[in-house]
Chains A and B, each alone.
Chain A
Amino acid sequence: MQIWKAGDTSVGMCEACGDQVRTRFEYQTVRLEQTKVEVPGVLVGVCQVCGTVATIPQQSAPKLRAARERKLRSVEARIPLELEDAIGMIAVNFAARAEPFKGALARYYLDRVCHEPTLLARAVAASQSRLATGSAGGRFTFRCEQALRQEALRVASRAGITTWATLVRGLLVVATEDALHEPVPKRLHADLHALALAAVAG
């Protein structure tokens, strides 16, 4: 396996010069246009004539891949603003930072729905509830492993939930039913408290 070091030279095609040029390898920040991810510390071949990045060696692929995966794990579902408010109230009740807590809460329920048929049945019903339906003016964005998203969707589709947004809405309504109605079951309270602590730390 060829491993280039910063300072090594090679040849490449420079689009700016329109010709074959000598290149020198340097570590730079690369911007991936489609995902708008900026990846620092990527080895690139720089044109010795004009200073433009001409090539990227294969050894830089793992860094670019990791950056893309981090970006891809950010997922979104459109939800009613009222449901967004309700999730905010759960965060307040558990003294958690809202942004990291809502993602942790969503992942917690996505993981559970993969293994708990009763929760899945509740999510199906909740997805048709008043709080889950209507104008979806809110954007619920959080980080989620692709594998968890796929598995939750696979399980949910067997129960008739075919879209990601419907699944997320249903689960968030279940979360509000669980967490905003006293008394909160002891084990759930402990789990949500742990999520809240992690969200504060994060």
Chain B
Amino acid sequence: MKPPEGFLAARTRVIAALKDGRVQHDARDALAEKNLLAVGAVTPAEVISVLERCRGGDHTASPHHASALADRGVKVHVFETAQSGECWYIKAYFLSAAPPDDNAIFISVHH
């Protein structure tokens, strides 16, 4: 069954993955600059805290930039929010809803 794409469902799913440690990161350019979670500059707990304070208006979902994944219905979730004077940008997606591949894959985590 295809998972729902709404704000609450997406946030819950990403937070659950962070809590379980089911987290991977895209091996992207500028990893140390664009994905602070991947390089340990922020912790999963910090990202969870930011996500928990997000509101519906802070979330968007769009097809993955790779057309092959977009064709399969893979959505990229973006949480963009200003908290405590910092603007956070969190971007993640899931390739599978079924274990053991139901990992959150982060593209960006920075502020």
Chain A residues proximal to chain B, CB less than 8 Å:
1-3, 10-13, 15, 18-20, 32-35, 44-45, 52-62, 64-66, 68
Give chain A residues whose Cβ lies under 8 Å from the Cβ of B96. Answer: 11
21 contacts between A and B (CB under 8 A): A2-B22, A2-B23, A2-B103, A10-B24, A11-B96, A11-B101, A11-B103, A12-B26, A13-B26, A13-B69, A13-B95, A15-B66, A19-B68, A20-B69, A32-B32, A32-B39, A34-B30, A45-B24, A55-B26, A57-B25, A64-B39
CA distance A48 to B81 in the complex (A): 36
Set A3, A13, A56: member contacting B38, Cβ < 8 A: A56
User: Which size bracket describes the interface of B in this complex?
Assistant: 20 to 34
CA distance A13 to B69 in the complex (A): 8
CA distance A15 to B41 in the complex (A): 24
A13 touching B33 in the complex, CB below 8 Å, given contacts A55-B26, A56-B25, A65-B40: no
Residue among B32, B33, B39 with max Cβ neighbours from chain A (10 Å): B39
From DSSP, what is the main secondary structure of chain A's interface residues? mixed
CA distance A98 to B12 in the complex (A): 56
Set B20, B28, B66, B95: member contacting A2, Cβ < 8 A: B20
B63 at interface, CB cutoff 8 A:
no
Residue among A13, A34, A59 with max Cβ neighbours from chain B (10 Å): A13
User: A171 CB to closest chain B CB, in angstroms?
Assistant: 30
User: B48 CB to closest chain A CB, in angstroms?
Assistant: 13
Check B105–A13 contact: CB distance below 8 A.
yes
Check B40–A34 contact: CB distance below 8 A.
no
Check A20–B24 contact: CB distance below 8 A.
no
Check A64–B68 contact: CB distance below 8 A.
no
Closest B-chain residue to A69, C-beta based?
B40
CA distance A91 to B101 in the complex (A): 58
User: A72 CB to closest chain B CB, in angstroms?
Assistant: 10
Q: Please name 4 further chain A to chain B contacts, defined as beta carbons within 8 Å, in addition to the given A61-B38, A66-B40, sorted by A numbering.
A: A13-B26, A15-B66, A20-B68, A58-B21
CA distance A45 to B95 in the complex (A): 14
CA distance A11 to B21 in the complex (A): 15
Set B27, B28, B64: member contacting A44, Cβ < 8 A: B27
User: A62 CB to closest chain B CB, in angstroms?
Assistant: 5
Check A68–B39 contact: CB distance below 8 A.
yes
Check B32–A12 contact: CB distance below 8 A.
no
